[in-house]
Every structure is written in structure tokens, then in C-alpha cells.
Amino acid sequence: MRNFIYILFISIYCQSLVLAQDLNTFFAQVDLFMSKYADHNSVQYKVLDRQPKELRTLVKQIELIDLESATSEEQKAFFINAYNLLVINNVVDHYPIASPNEIVEFWDEIIHIVAGEKYTLETFKNKIIRIFPDPLLHFVLVDGTISAAPIASFAFLPSKLDQQLENRTIEALNNPRFIHYDKTLNVLELPVIFKKYAESFQPTIIKFINNYRVQKVHDSAAIKFANYDWTLNAFFGDMDITINKKKKEVAVNSLADVLTLPKNTLELMLFNSLFTANYGNKDYGSRSSYFNSFFSVSYGVTGRLDVGVNFLLRSSRTGDSFLSSPFKVFEFQRVSPNSYSKTNSGLYSDWGLSHIGIQTRFAPFKNINLSFEQGLLFPIQNLPTDNTVDQNMYSISQIYFIHPFTSQWQLFLALSYWQPINLKGSFRFQPPMLRGILNYFATPRFSVFVSTMYCLEWGLGVKLMLTPKLELQAMYSYFLPIPGVFDLFSPGATSVMTYNMGFRYRF
């Protein structure tokens, strides 16, 4: 029994010794790394993009290290270093970028492994703050931006951690770029972390700050929060090059910007469009409305080639009263002109799952944002039974092109040719439609856009990415009342407009 206890003691001691050696090696390598690549409160991302070996080695250690026997101070120091390195690694993975927010999934979608557990950067940071409720952590966890706390050029070590945290807090809170105090106006301008984590800074924000400032802030100072600058905390010379390059080449990452799907990616897309036109005047005129619900399932085969299936649900309502609501088309009624009544004289209404089809999309060029799409839609007449909403087959040819002007402004062009094919009737040529969309990305997840078709139809819309996988969009458009314009789209109409809404979800 005594021998067993002795062997167990030796085993535990050796295991602790190995863990200490692993952590000590990690801290030493981080210290060397930071001293080389994090200097003057900025990071040399350009160099790391060319020479990523040291960074990748540290990220691998972060994945594999065992913290089961680590002390609280060792864990805390490890987590701080790990978070800062993973932010740097995320930037290098997507370099060149001018801001982490250009990568929509940067914070809450990309998975990182820390000591065998999976986190996003957001969940990892929240865990650190939750486990170690130390307000000084906000001045050492660096988000890779200008407005974040200045990054240290050394590793945080368990044996020096308290002093290091205090020193970094003193440096941050006395840095006029991080905190600005106008003594004359008695106004204190703070970064938004003081607003987001206000409960961390006790007893009050000003008293907390004064514990670390040389120039004290008056207790009655008015507090305002500065706009957050998401610009990358890159080495100054590299940042100028990166921003200029981004202005020429790179736009905000969005589902809608990708001309073809990544390999082995599945996407569901639903686009609903209501086209409505008035004829005549309110006393003797009429309204016709047409609703199309286009649902597609697409799969990325190679990264440049997609295949998919499409379904088209249609509802038509013509001969309605001039002042009737265009949304009556959603009643999905079946009314024949022969079924005369005082309320529906001349009214025709029908609906159904009108078509099912196949499509393929191909992006042949690596450096040109251009893709080609070809599809066929086949009519279905029995869902519901005997619907007559549309009995044509369609050949659909489309060309897509994207040109980013800056990281916020982007032009999207789509040339669409929907040619109806009636095997029992004569051929009727359908003119192609050229649509241009100018997008402005107010944030990486929200954009406003203006749309036009031949400068005759003009629309205004918005796109919102609720998550990195789910995008919603809505648009209203109106056709200009130019003589002859309406006849191109709906002969005899006096006003034409559309309401559009859709979503896409990617697996």
C-alpha cells in the first residue's frame, strides 16, 4: 500500500512537472513571438502573412495543451495569450483586410480549439471574462482594432501577471488615443468597453479610471463614448498598403457577394416578388397583380460549379378593381371570368406550384467576379389540379458580375434572359433584362442598395445578415411614368410597381 501511494505521488508530480514545462515553453515562445511581431501597439500582419510558421505552431499548442492541473494564474495567463494569438491568426488567415469586420464570421462563426474545447472568439472572450471577473482583463484582451486596448510586445506570465495587468491598464488609461479628457470642458471621452461592461468598473467608472491615471478626472466630468474604430491594428506602413489595396480589390464578405458556393456547401434561397399594375383610372380602371415565389436548393460541387433544383409557385389576379389591394393575390383564389357576379365581373384568379426545374452555375475565372447560369423550368399543371396559371416551359440564362469599388461600395450586375417555350404555340421572343444594383454596406451585416433595370425601373432595398449563414432582403421598385415605358412591361398600364422579399440560408 505504501509503495502504491509512493508511485501515485511520483506519477502526479511528474505529470505536473510535464504540464509546467509545456506551459513554460508556450509562454517563452509567445514572449519571443510578441517581441518580434507586436511592436509600438501594432502587429506586423504583412510579415506574418508571408511567414506564418511561428504563429501556426503556437496555435497548434493552444489546441493541444492540457490545463487540467494548471493553477488559476496559469490558466488566466494562458487564456489571455491564447485569445490575442487567435485574433492575430484569424486576421492572417484572411489577410489582406483593413478591418476584422470585413469577415462577417470573424467573431461568432469561425471555430477555434483551445485546450481541446471549441470556441468562437466571442464565446472564448466571454468565458475568460466570466471565469476571471477582473476588470483589468479589458485592457489586455486585444480585438485587433485601433479602438481596442494597445497590444503588448511580450507574453503574460503567471509569475508576473498581476503587475503586468496593472501596468497595461496604466498605459491604456493614460494614453490620449484610448481615453481623452478635456479638462477645460470637463468632458471625458471613453471607448465603448466602458459602456458595454460598465458594471465591471466599480465603484464608478471615473473613480476606477482615477486609480490608474496621472491626470485625474473630476468626479463631475460628463462622459461620452467615442465611435469605435474597427480599423486593423496593423503596422503603420502595412496599413496604408492594405487600405489602398482594399479600396481597389476587396468588398465586404456577404452571402450575396459569392457568385458560386464554396465546395460542399448547401444553400436554400427563397425570393418572393409581387408585380402589380393599374390600368385606366380609379373610376373605370382595373388592377392586375402577379406573385412569384422562387425557391431553389443549390449545392457547391467544386467551388466554381454549382448545381441545383428550383420550384416556382405563382398566383395571378387580373381584372380586379383599380383601388383594390395588390395583396389580394395572396388569397390564392381560383376565379374564372365566366363566374360572373357584381363583385368579380371580369376577374380572373388562379394559383399553383407552376414549375419545377434544374440549374447549373459556373464561375470560369479565378480573378474575375463573373459567373454564368443556365436552367430549365418545366410546367406542372396538377398542383392544385388543373391550374392554368402558366403552362410555358422556360429556358433561363443569366450572367452575374460583381465589382467592388471600396470595402463599403459594390456594384452587382445581372443579365437575365427568361425565354418562354410553348411547344403547342408560336415562338415569342422575350427581351433580356439587365439589372444593376449598387450596394452600400453600412456595417458588415447590413447594407442598403439602389436597383435599376435599364434606368426605367428603380428600386430601393435593404439586406440584413441575421447570422453569418442567414440573410434577409427586401426591396420596393417603381417604373418611371415615361410614355411608352409601361408598354414594355405591361401594355396599357398607367402605373407599375413591385414588392420583393427573400432570404437565403447556407449550410
pLDDT along the chain (507 residues), means of 10: 48 44 88 89 90 94 91 95 95 88 82 93 94 94 90 94 94 90 92 90 93 92 89 69 44 49 85 90 85 92 89 88 88 68 64 89 83 90 68 88 81 90 77 90 85 90 84 91 68 85 88
Q: Is 35 helix (H, G, I), strand (E, B) or coil?
A: helix
At 422, the amino acid letter reads N
Name the percent of the chain in helix, strand, coil, to the closest 5. 30, 35, 35
Burial of 60: CB neighbours in 10 Å, binned 0-12, 13-18, 19+: exposed
CB count within 10 Å of CB 41 equals 19
Which pLDDT score, from 0 to 100, does residue 353 have? 87
Q: Is residue 191 reached through a cis peptide bond, with omega within 30 degrees of 0 on the bond before it?
A: no
Q: What is the DSSP letter of 488?
A: H
User: What does DSSP say about strands 393-404 and 266-279: parallel, antiparallel, or unpaired?
Assistant: unpaired
Q: Is 29 helix (H, G, I), strand (E, B) or coil?
A: helix
At 146, the amino acid letter reads I
Which pLDDT score, from 0 to 100, does residue 277 have? 87
Which pLDDT score, from 0 to 100, does residue 490 have? 67
Closest CA to 30 of 77, 67, 76: 77
Which pLDDT score, from 0 to 100, does residue 247 have? 43
| Domain extent listing, the chain | 2-173, 251-506
H or E segment and range at residue 166: helix 161-173
pLDDT in tens, 167-218: 999 999 998 888 999 989 999 999 989 998 989 998 999 999 999 999 999 9
Please answer whether residues 126 and 200 qualify as being in contact, where contact means their C-beta atoms are separated by less than 8 angstroms: no
Please answer whether residues 486 and 237 qualify as being in contact, where contact means their C-beta atoms are separated by less than 8 angstroms: no
Please answer whether residues 43 and 233 qualify as being in contact, where contact means their C-beta atoms are separated by less than 8 angstroms: yes
Which pLDDT score, from 0 to 100, does residue 387 have? 65
Which pLDDT score, from 0 to 100, does residue 236 have? 57
Please answer whether residues 165 and 152 qualify as being in contact, where contact means their C-beta atoms are separated by less than 8 angstroms: no
Whole-angstrom Cα distance, residue 300 to residue 21? 46
Q: How far, CA to CA in Å, does 451 sit from each of 40, 396, 399?
A: 45, 21, 16
pLDDT in tens, 28-75: 999 999 999 997 778 999 999 999 999 999 999 999 999 988 999 999
- In degrees and rounded to multiples of 5, residue 102 shows phi and psi of -65, -25
Which pLDDT score, from 0 to 100, does residue 4 have? 46
Q: Which CATH architecture has domain 251-506?
A: Beta Barrel (2.40)
DSSP string of 385-430? Answer: BT--S---EEEEEEEEEEEESSSSEEEEEEEEEEEEE-TTS-----
